[in-house]
Structures are given as structure tokens and as C-alpha cells.
């Protein structure tokens, strides 16, 4: 290793060279080959750059320039270089830390006594270069991420820092000793987890390192755990302390979201823990996006226990969910949570304001004249159209006045619709839709909720509609927790929306990634089938795709449509069909209507499948024969080998063995996702 450099054809010692403010245009002579070169050529990536390089990196105040083809481990041990350079700095009271408006840099240093070096890395460095340096002497590393995107994340209490160069992802794994990240803030990061992750932060997907609370340190921790404390002068330490005391704390964000398998395993428990300790401030809105089989019901029950002094309203659209939660509340002796459907809640509020109606009307074209004489003898289509218009008015949230709605919707007054609405206002017509609309229009829920409940849990939030959501957001000021899975939104045909897309921006959105129902390898495959399926498995039991699983074991057979269910049911024996008796009556009634009238396109859209078109292909006699064949194959559920459901009716349920019918289309992603995530052990998928 040379003890000097050549500057203006004179021998110059490193300590003297370092103190000079060398002009960028100065002429240098390469020590190794005696050729002339300019300083800018040594770092400027010009055509001459391949011939020489300048060390150390990266500023004008250099020590020497040498040919690139003289490799570092061929001419010296790195420790020799560090020792010479560090001693010269100490002697002249110059510092390893260099600061300017444009750059901050820790130059390489070496503690000869302890044989420990330190490297400060600004630029890309390949893993093999790190490995070669590690062979020469023990090294601690400081990687400069000051200019990178970096945030402290409140939920989980960690720092996420975007990785500036792709090569750094693997290079840090070649470092044998400490790796610190210089952030430019008061927080330094001790990189103990050298894996990289993908997170979504402030709406943007980023490739990051994650540093948890115990590894978020200060500059003093860096000095004490590297050779910096040994090789810096007291003057230098003072300068650095003054600089670091001027630095600010890192900016914070509330939450980040996992966007790779590894980060999902890392963050899932953090999100679950956070919701357990969260205080739920007044009028706060919190949302948990939870995958299928994530144990959301268990979470809600645990929260009810934690907040045992609060009166908690549990809301769901599905009556089956209400029954399920009631049973669990009784078993676990939880007395402060009150399960209700949204319609049940609206009816109680309505009764408090208007009294208990004699009955809830089910408006149909063939009975409408019993409520309003004007419709006696009128065309069936006129009656059906009037009912449809009334229903649509009741379900929208923009208009509260029927006349304004008609002007906007039809461009003219609709006296007939106004007459029907007056019957509603006077309580002569009462349906679940009109109850909802009146509660919404008059804000009757405000006082009722405030008086009876301290908190609201909204389950299966993806199934709620606009009016339900509007009441909850505008007419309540108690804390609200929305829980659901946007991937399971399969009721759009009846007007449901994905509530998560319409919650205010200030809401706290959390994600639960782990399913306890579907094991691997099936879980990994299901995740790969969908663009935004952030799901990992924590099931102790493996789940497999098995197209030809043993039918001697009971299994659930899932269908998109009743059409395919009926066709398959006439061929299979020892079957049970969920809800068949009620559905059979509806099918016969619908077929009779179809023989008299044709359904409008809007009416067909109100149905979950193509059943009307299917029934039109049958005569009354043929339909009776089909239904008779189906009925002859049905046995009690406990004796059935094959249990048939539509996907809509099996949502929220699970079974060890699940078979999917071929009528489930791949392009209907949400339906397919719901069907695939019902199986615990084996899944028979026709595209397998």
C-alpha cells in the first residue's frame, strides 16, 4: 500500500492531501501506472473511467488514485488502508464524517487495536464485492438510506425503508457483522432482519426492509457497537453530536399493508394484537378486512369481552349469522353484545316513532289492489312497475323527497308514485324498504342508537347496501367496527355494495391475512389465482386440490345456479339439498308466472342466476317430472353422502370435502373465491 500520492508531480502524504481543497479540474498522476488523469475522469463514468478509480468514495478531498485493474486484495489487506487513513485523520483532527449541502458520508475507517473496520455505503455494491471485502478484515457496515422513502408505522411500531438499489437486497446478507441504516433522522436502524418485503404504504407498493422497535436505535448505539468510537477524535465526536441533535424524528404513518407472502406472516399477528389493545375513540371508524376462515367471529367475541362495560350492537344482514353468534354468546356467557339484523334494528326504531304496524306488507302486483283501490283491474305490468319504482326510491340515499326523485329520475312528476308514497308516510303501506327509508329520511336512528348502545360491530360489511351504510355513518356517533372480506362480495345482484370502498378516508383500515380453515398447499395456490388475494394459511391440517377425491366420505357440492343444481340432483342419489322445499315452491310459482308474463331484464337481474331462462325451456308437465326425480333422491342430511348448496347459501360455512360444479365461471372471481375457500381438507375443482 502506498504511503503517499503524487500531486502536481510532487510527493504528497495522505494527511496533507486530505487537508487541501483540491479543485475538481486538478491534474493527478496514477500511482500504479504513472499516467496523467483528471479527478473528474476517475468518478465521472467517462470513457477513461475503466482505466482508473478513486478511493475512498466519494468526494474531491482524496488520498490517492490508482488503476482499476489493481484489485484491492492484490495490493494490500484492507486493514492496512483503514489504519493509515484513520491515523491521518486523527492526527490532523479531521473527521471520518464529511458533511456538505449535497452529501453526507462516513468514509472507511479502521480500528487497528481491535482489527475492526467500518464501511459507509452510498452507491450500488454487488454481493460478491461485499463478500470479497469481508475476507480481508472484520467489517461493520453503514448503508445510507437518507434519501429513500421511510416511515415509522404506528400499527406494529416498526420502521419500513425502501431499498434504494436492487443489489443491496442481497448484499446486506453477505455482511458478517453489524449492518446499520443511516436514515438522516434521529432514528438509526440496526438491520438484524436482512430479508426484504413488499408493503403497500400510503397507497403505493414498495420493496422495503422492516426494522422493529428493539432495533430502532440512536447514533450513540452505532458508535458503541462499531469502531467509530475508537477512531474518532473528541472534536469529531462533538461535531457529530451537534449534527445529530439537529435531526428530526422520522415521519409517521398509521398503518402499512403486507403485499407478499413473507410480509403477511410478519404483519398478521401485529394487526391482530393492535385491535385487541385499540381504544376505539368516540365516532371512530375502524375496518378489518379479513380473509375467509380468519376467525373474525372469534375476534369480535374477544373484543366484546375486552370491552365488557360497553353495550355492543352486533349487526349483520344474514339471519344465519345472527343465530350463530347468539349461540356463541350464550356458550361463552357474553352478556354485553346484542345481535340484530339491520331490518330488525330499523323496525324497532320505526315502532318507537310510529307505533307497531299490524303487519309488514309484501307488495306484489297481484295483491297491490288490496292496499290501494286504484290498482283494481289495472294491468299487471303497471302494478309491477309502480312497486319497482317505490323500491328503488327507498333504497337510494340521494333523495328524501319523492317529487325531487321523480324529476331527476324521470324528468317529470309521477302522481301515481307520489300517491303510493303518501300511503307509506301515513303508515297504510309498511314494508321493510319503506321502514328503512323513513328511518333514514328523518334520522330517527340518532337518538335510538345513542341511548341504547356504546359501540357497533358490523359483520359481513361487504354485503351492506348504500342506505344501511348511510344510516350508520351519518346517524351514529358511537365507535364503529366494520368487518368483512371484499373478495366475498357476491350479492351485488340485490343491491349490496362493498362498504370498505365507501368508508371515510380517516377510517383505520386493518387487514387479517391468515386463514385457519384452508391449509397449504391449497392456500398458496388459491392466493396465486387472484390478483388481490392477500391470504396465508395458519391451519394445522393440510388442504389439497383433488379432482377425484373419494366420494365414500360425505362432501359438499357447490353450484353457481339452481339450474345446474337441479340437473345434477336428478342424477345423484343419497343427496340433501339445502332449502329445497322452499325453493321448490318458488320454482313452481315462478314457472306459472313465466307462462303468463315475460320478465323484464331488470327483474331477471334481481335474481342470482339464470333460473327464469332455464324454466322457460320446460312445460309444466316436464317441470313436475324433473322436480319429482330430484325429490326421490333426497334423504335426511345426516344420511346424505352429497350435500348440495348454491354458493350464496353456503357462504360463511365450511366442510372437510368440497366439490365445485362446472357452472362456476373463472371470470366471476368473487364467486370462485368463496367456493374455493369452503374446503378444509380436499377441494375438487374442475379446472384442476
DSSP string, 255-283: --EE-SHHHHHHHHHHHHHHHHH----TT
Q: Which residues contact 331 (CB under 8 A, 6 or more apart)?
A: none
Residues in the chain: 688
131-155 average pLDDT score: 90
Q: Which of 340, 303, 348, 295 is nearest to 321 (CA)?
A: 340
pLDDT band at residue 510 using 50, 70 and 90 as cut-offs: very high
Of residues 605 and 166, more confidently modeled? 166
Q: What is the pTM of this model?
A: 0.83
635-645 average pLDDT score: 96
| pLDDT at res. 119 | 85
| pLDDT at res. 108 | 62
Of the candidate ranges 220-224, 251-255, 275-279, the one whose mean pLDDT is the lowest:
220-224
Q: At what angle do helices 319-331 and 296-306 cross, to 10 degrees?
A: 50
Joined together, the cell numbers standing for residue 296 give 373474525
pLDDT band at residue 122 using 50, 70 and 90 as cut-offs: confident
Q: Which of 586, 562, 564, 566 is nearest to 575 (CA)?
A: 566
| pLDDT at res. 688 | 58
Joined together, the cell numbers standing for residue 552 give 365414500
User: Is 50 exceeded by the pLDDT of residue 54?
Assistant: no
CA dist 327 and 136 (Å) reads: 68
pLDDT band at residue 612 using 50, 70 and 90 as cut-offs: confident
In whole numbers, what is the pLDDT of the chain averaged over residues? 85
**Residue 632: HSE in the Cβ half-sphere, 13 Å Cα cutoff:** 8
Contact by Cβ (8 Å): 41, 28 = no
**Biggest distance spanned by C-alpha atoms of the chain:** 116
229-245 average pLDDT score: 77
- Dump pLDDT digits (tens) for 649-662: 999 899 999 999 99
Contact by Cβ (8 Å): 685, 557 = no
Q: Which of 208, 131, 137 is nearest to 175 (CA)?
A: 131
Pairing of strands 216-217, 64-67: unpaired
286-312 average pLDDT score: 97
User: Is 90 exceeded by the pLDDT of residue 392?
Assistant: yes
- Dump pLDDT digits (tens) for 482-500: 999 999 999 876 777 888 9
User: Is 60 exceeded by the pLDDT of residue 41?
Assistant: no
Q: Where do the H-state alpha helices sit in 204-316?
A: 219-224, 228-231, 234-245, 261-277, 296-306
Q: Which of 464, 439, 479 is nearest to 346 (CA)?
A: 439
CA dist 129 and 29 (Å) reads: 26
- Dump pLDDT digits (tens) for 434-454: 999 999 999 999 999 999 999
| pLDDT at res. 26 | 58
| pLDDT at res. 13 | 52
CA dist 256 and 151 (Å) reads: 10
Contacts 24+ apart (CB under 8 A), 306-312: 306/276, 307/280, 307/336, 307/455, 308/336, 309/336, 310/336, 310/454, 310/455, 311/336, 311/338, 311/452, 311/453, 311/454, 311/455, 312/336, 312/337, 312/338, 312/453, 312/454, 312/455, 312/456, 312/457
pLDDT band at residue 199 using 50, 70 and 90 as cut-offs: very high
Peptide bond into 56 cis (omega under 30): yes
| pLDDT at res. 58 | 33
| pLDDT at res. 316 | 92
pLDDT band at residue 602 using 50, 70 and 90 as cut-offs: low
Amino acid at each position: 500500500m502506498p504511503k503517499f500520492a503524487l500531486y502536481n508531480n510532487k510527493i504528497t502524504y495522505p494527511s496533507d492531501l486530505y487537508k487541501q481543497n483540491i479543485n475538481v479540474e486538478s491534474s493527478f498522476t496514477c500511482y500504479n501506472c504513472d499516467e496523467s488523469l483528471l479527478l473528474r475522469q476517475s468518478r465521472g463514468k467517462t470513457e477513461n473511467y475503466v482505466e482508473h478509480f478513486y478511493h475512498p468514495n466519494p468526494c474531491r478531498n482524496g488520498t490517492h488514485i490508482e488503476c482499476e485493474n489493481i484489485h484491492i486484495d492484490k495490493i494490500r489487506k484492507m486493514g492496512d488502508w483503514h489504519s493509515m487513513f484513520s491515523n491521518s485523520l486523527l492526527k490532523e483532527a479531521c473527521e471520518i464524517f464529511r458533511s456538505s449541502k449535497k452529501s453526507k458520508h462516513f468514509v472507511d475507517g479502521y480500528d487497528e487495536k481491535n482489527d475492526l473496520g467500518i464501511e459507509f455505503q452510498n452507491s450500488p455494491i454487488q454481493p460478491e464485492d461485499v463478500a470479497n471485502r469481508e475476507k480481508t478484515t472484520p467489517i461493520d457496515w453503514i448503508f445510507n438510506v437518507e434519501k429513500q422513502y421511510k416511515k415509522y408505522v404506528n400499527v406494529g411500531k416498526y420502521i419500513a425503508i425502501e431499498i434504494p438499489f436492487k443489489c443491496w437486497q442481497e448484499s446486506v446478507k453477505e455482511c458478517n457483522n453489524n449492518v446499520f441504516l443511516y436514515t438522516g433522522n434521529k432514528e438509526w436502524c440496526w438491520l438484524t432482519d436482512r430479508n426484504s418485503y413488499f408493503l403497500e404504504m400510503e397507497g403505493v407498493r414498495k420493496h422495503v426492509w422492516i426494522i422493529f422497535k428493539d432495533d430502532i436505535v440512536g447514533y450513540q448505539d452505532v458508535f458503541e457497537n462499531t469502531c467509530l468510537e475508537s477512531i474518532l477524535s473528541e472534536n469529531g465526536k462533538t461535531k457529530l453530536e451537534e449534527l445529530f441533535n439537529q435531526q428530526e424524528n422520522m415521519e409517521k404513518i398509521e398503518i402499512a399493508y403486507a403485499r407478499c407472502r413473507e410480509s403477511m406472516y410478519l404483519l398478521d399477528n401485529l394487526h391482530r394484537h393492535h385491535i385487541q389493545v385499540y381504544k376505539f375513540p368516540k365516532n371512530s371508524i375502524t375496518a378489518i378486512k379479513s380473509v375467509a376462515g380468519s376467525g373474525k367471529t372469534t375476534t369480535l367475541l374477544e373484543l366484546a369481552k375486552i370491552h365488557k362495560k360497553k353495550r355492543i350492537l352486533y349487526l349483520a344482514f344474514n339471519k344465519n349469522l345472527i343465530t350463530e353468534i347468539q349461540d356463541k354468546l350464550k356458550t361463552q356467557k357474553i352478556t354485553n353484545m346484542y345481535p340484530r339484523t339491520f331490518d330488525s334494528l330499523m323496525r324497532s326504531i320505526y315502532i318507537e316513532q310510529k307505533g307497531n304496524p299490524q303487519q309488514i306488507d309484501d307488495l306484489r302486483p297481484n295483491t297491490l289492489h288490496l292496499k290501494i283501490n286504484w290498482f283494481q283491474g289495472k294491468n299487471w305490468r303497471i302494478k309491477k312497475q309502480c312497486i319497482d319504482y317505490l323500491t328503488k326510491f327507498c333504497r337510494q340515499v340521494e333523495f328524501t323527497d319523492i317529487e325531487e326523485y321523480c324529476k331527476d329520475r324521470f324528468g317529470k312528476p309521477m302522481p301515481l308514485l307520489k300517491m303510493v308514497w303518501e300511503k307509506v308516510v301515513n303508515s297504510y303501506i309498511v314494508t321493510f324498504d319503506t321502514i328503512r327509508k323513513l328511518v333514514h329520511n328523518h334520522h330517527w336512528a340518532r337518538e335510538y342508537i345513542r341511548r341504547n348502545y356504546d359501540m357497533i360491530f358490523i359483520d359481513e360489511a361487504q354485503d351492506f347496501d348504500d342506505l344501511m351504510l348511510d344510516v350508520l355513518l351519518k346517524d351514529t356517533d358511537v365507535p364503529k367496527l366494520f368487518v368483512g372480506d371484499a373478495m366475498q362480495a357476491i350479492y351485488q345482484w340485490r343491491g349490496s355494495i362493498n362498504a370498505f370502498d365507501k368508508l371515510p378516508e380517516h377510517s383505520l383500515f386493518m387487514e387479517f391475512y391468515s386463514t385457519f380453515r384452508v391449509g397449504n398447499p391449497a392456500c398458496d395456490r388459491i392466493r396465486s389465482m387472484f390478483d388481490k388475494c392477500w391470504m396465508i394459511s395458519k391451519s394445522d391440517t393440510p388442504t389439497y386440490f383433488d379432482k377425484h377425491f373419494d366420494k365414500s366420505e360425505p362432501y359438499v357440492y357447490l353450484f353457481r345456479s339452481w339450474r345446474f343444481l337441479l340437473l345434477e340432483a336428478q342424477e345423484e342419489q343419497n343427496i340433501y339439498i339445502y332449502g329445497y322445499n322452499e325453493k321448490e315452491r318458488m320454482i313452481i310459482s315462478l314457472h306459472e308466472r313465466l307462462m303468463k308474463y315475460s320478465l323484464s331484464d331488470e327483474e331477471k337481474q334481481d335474481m342470482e342466476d339464470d333460473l327464469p331462462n332455464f324454466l322457460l325451456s320446460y312445460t309444466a308437465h316436464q317441470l313436475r317430472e324433473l322436480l319429482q326425480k330430484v325429490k326421490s333422491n333426497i334423504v335426511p342430511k345426516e344420511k346424505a353422502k352429497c350435500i348440495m348448496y348454491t354458493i350464496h347459501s353456503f357462504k360463511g360455512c365450511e366442510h372437510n370435502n368440497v366439490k365445485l360444479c362446472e357452472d362456476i365461471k373463472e371470470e366471476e372471481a368473487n364467486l370462485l373465491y368463496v367456493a374455493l375457500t369452503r374446503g378444509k381438507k380436499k377441494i375438487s375443482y374442475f379446472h384442476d
